[in-house]
Amino acid sequence: MSGFSRTGVGVAIAIAVAISLHAQSPRDELHVCHAGSLLAAFTQVEDEFKKQHPTVAITDTSGGSVDLVRRFASGRLECDVIAPADHLVIDTMLKPPRLADYTVVFASGRMVLAYSAADSKASALTVSGTFTPPASIPMVTGKWYDALTAPGVRISGAHPFLDPGGYRAHMILELAQSHHKVPGLYNALLQHYQINVADPSATAPPLGKDFNFQFTYEHNAARSAKSDPSYRYAALPRDIDLSDAHTRYDVSVTIPGLGIPGAATSVTIPASAVEWGLTIPTNSRHRELAIAFVASVIGTAGRASLSANGPAPLVPARVSVPDQARLPLQLRSLTAAK
């Protein structure tokens, strides 16, 4: 009897511990991986989502979109939702090895040229118009690119193999050459391009100190201008700023592939309008929660957050005709096939 009693006590203790652990920890979890340019908007969406789902623990990971996708594909990062800064990252990198079935395009923006009013090297930039955002944004004029190719000038940007912001900057350099019809302009600009160190824990160096110019997303530039009175940004020609979904941009970049079985050694991504995409990976362990979260992003709550923080929401979100058939039923009414 004594042996049976000890066993019974052990079982009772194990049950009590299990109940205690269950009570102390959330029942569900969700891993959201997204571009750094979506941090402000997604933080707000996640806060609202947790109010509606108080038992869910959200693990948020932001960074360079291509870097996130590579870490996910290699098994070093769990993602139930992936939202890169370029929807083509899903189409060209995740779909071929069947890590994703569909792409939802849900936000748009454009690239601008940022600089500091306190930087003597930036004073050579020719622009027209006043800087009173969001009502008025100056436009680069004349041979604006001469200021970027002057001796000692540095153009800051992300690594094109890790971040769409980086390869979009390179696309802009190439588009500037064709738009302005200046032979050798791409190489001249590229010689001044300085890659930022990809360290999310580090504070980004201020404009006018370690670098003089930066091609960046307009909503990020607008946020920086609110906190820094010397921060400025100017609009680029429409043929260059990657803002038009109806324009065919005749440039592309080729970057290394995912490095996993079934994936191509390299991937060519054509230039397109600045549009953010998202998907739920095929191996998501928390699919129902992921569907609910995506519904929040492309629904009323997400649209409000994007409108407040940028980038601009697409209403409704867009999918291709083949992809719409693969969408979860809960998301079809929130999207339009085009």
Binned at pLDDT 50, 70 and 90, residue 276 comes out as very high
| Contact criterion met (CB below 8 Å) for 233 and 137 | yes
Q: Which domain holds residue 164?
A: 111-235
Q: Do 224 and 284 lie in a common domain?
A: no
Q: What is the pLDDT of residue 197?
A: 66
Nearest to 150 by CA among 125, 183, 167, 176: 125
For residues 158 and 9, what is the distance between their CA atoms, to the nearest angstrom?
Answer: 60
Cα–Cα nearest to 168, from 105, 113, 216? 216
> Is the pLDDT confidence value at 338 over 70?
yes
Q: Are 122 and 190 part of one and the same domain?
A: yes
Answer whether 234's CB lies under 8 Å from 112's CB.
yes
> Which tokens belong to 259?
């490095």
Q: Are residues 280 and 219 in the same domain?
A: no
Query: Distance (Å, rounded) from C-alpha 288 to C-alpha 239?
Result: 41
Q: What's the rounded Cα separation, in Å, for the pair 309 and 29?
A: 25
In a domain, 23, yes or no: no
Q: What is the number of structural domains in the chain? A: 2
* Calpha distance 160→183 (Å, rounded): 23
Q: What is the pLDDT of residues 105-141, one digit of tens each?
A: 999 999 999 999 999 999 999 999 999 999 999 999 9
Over residues 58-96, the pLDDT tens digits come to 999 999 999 999 999 999 999 999 999 999 999 999 999
CATH number for the domain spanning 146: value is: 3.40.190.10
CA distance 34 to 90: 12
Burial (CB count <10 Å: 0-12, 13-18, 19+), residue 248? exposed
190 in Cβ contact with 153 (< 8 Å): no
Domain check: are 55 and 126 in the same one?
A: no
Q: Is residue 288 part of a domain?
A: yes
**Same domain as 146, residue 94:** no
Contact of 74 with 256, CB cutoff 8 Å: no
Split at pLDDT 50, 70, 90, the class of 209 is confident
pTM as predicted: 0.90
Cα(169)–Cα(215) distance, integer angstroms: 6
With respect to residue 52, please indicate whether it lies within any of the assigned structural domains. Answer: yes
Closest to 129 (Cα-Cα) out of 233, 201, 217 = 233
The helix (H) or strand (E) run that includes residue 173 is helix 164-180
Same domain, 33 and 130: no
CA distances from 268 to 43, 167, 254, 255, 271 (A): 31, 11, 4, 6, 10
The reply to whether 72 and 117 lie within a common domain is no
The per-residue pLDDT for range 190-208, each reduced to its tens digit, is: 999 999 865 444 445 567 6
Say whether both 205 and 135 belong to one domain.
Answer: yes
Helix, strand, coil fractions of the chain, as percent rounded to 5: 40, 25, 40
Same domain, 123 and 100: no
